[in-house]
Structure 1
């Protein structure tokens, strides 16, 4: 029985999971969650994710939430299938993947997500005006993070080494939306970061998922 992902195709956290499933070649069913009517806050969904946020995963008797936990689970369970995303058979490579997974979660995501929220979510879903002060503050933070990335990517093709991993994959959803904003220049102005982005965003698994993000 195919596993189920509860979420929506435009959600960054949902698409993080869908891209991982694509890289691993795992069959799944995407079960839409109607957030406009608050379906994600109803008891049926809360039983899957107690925080009332998408996505949630059902794999047999296992129910799991938090997109980064879900992708690690998928990549571990199916480690011998599809793309090797965690390098579990090599301690040093696996450690490098884990380090950059943490960097994405604790440095990259907190800097980029408010920019995307202001540019893409506020105008589209709330008919509001982006707060330029919030954007400016987080552009400053993202600049500092991307300077570190530029230095690292001048030495290796991908973040954890010369191999694509879950660490790279986790950057895809938010960066995809950033590239549709004026702040795309933060990526485009750094040659190694730009080359990395063009590489990882052209992978078939993400290109398929990205069709649903437009």
Structure 2
């Protein structure tokens, strides 16, 4: 769905988040979107669930689940750290849908002690600070109120 929206509206603002005009760049975007969906999300989503959803359901976070998945996420972020040491963004020196897909989960992670997973990796931290300060995302942030009372 996000690929459809990115393709449909790329002409209205000149931003091609899929890099469709360059086959190599488009392939890199797709590769990093796969990494996000197959490696990053499966590691971070249980942490998110424990820290945000479980308390909303009246339960307490299960620290064992958080710890186990933090270790998995750390390994994924080590790969990101290496990649981001040679390029500004995941697919290259251009912002893409691959970067955008990470925004919601990391936004919420950064409000928890688990933010150290991002902060202790300087290239990942710099990437996060860059993508989270983009004007489009800063416009969305006020609506990201999950877990707030």
Q: TM-score, normalized by length of structure 2?
A: 0.94
Match of 2:18 in 1: 86
Structure 1: distance between partners of 2:116 and 2:83: 19
**Which one of 80, 100, 124 corresponds to residue 169 of structure 1?**
100
The number of residue pairs the alignment matches comes to: 144
- Give the unaligned 5+ runs of structure 2: none
- Which runs of structure 2 are paired with 1:3-22 in the superposition (5 Å)? none
Are residues 1:118 and 2:78 paired?
A: no
Unaligned runs of 5+ in 1: 1-69
Identify the residue that residue 22 of structure 1 maps to in structure 2.
none
C-alpha distance in structure 1 between counterparts of 2:139 and 2:52, whole Å = 21
User: Residue 72 in 1 paired to residue 3 in 2?
Assistant: yes
Shift in Å, 1:81: 2.6
- Larger strand share, 1 or 2: 1
Q: Distance in 2 between matches of 1:117 and 1:180?
A: 14
Kindly name which structure, 1 or 2, has the bigger radius of gyration based on alpha carbons. Answer: 1
Matched residue of 2:93: which SS? coil
Asked whether 1:109 is paired with 2:41, we answer: yes
- What's 1:155 paired with? 86
Other structure's SS at 1:177 match = helix
In 1, Cα distance between the equivalents of 2:29 and 2:78? 19
Task: Report the alpha carbon displacement of residue 78 of structure 1 after superposing the two structures with TM.
Answer: 2.2
2:129 to 161, 173, 198: 198
- Give the TM-score, by structure 1 length: 0.66
Q: What displacement does 1:79 show?
A: 2.7
- Structure 1 segments, 4+ long, off by >6 Å, are none
Q: Is the 8 A contact 2:7 2:16 kept in 1?
A: no
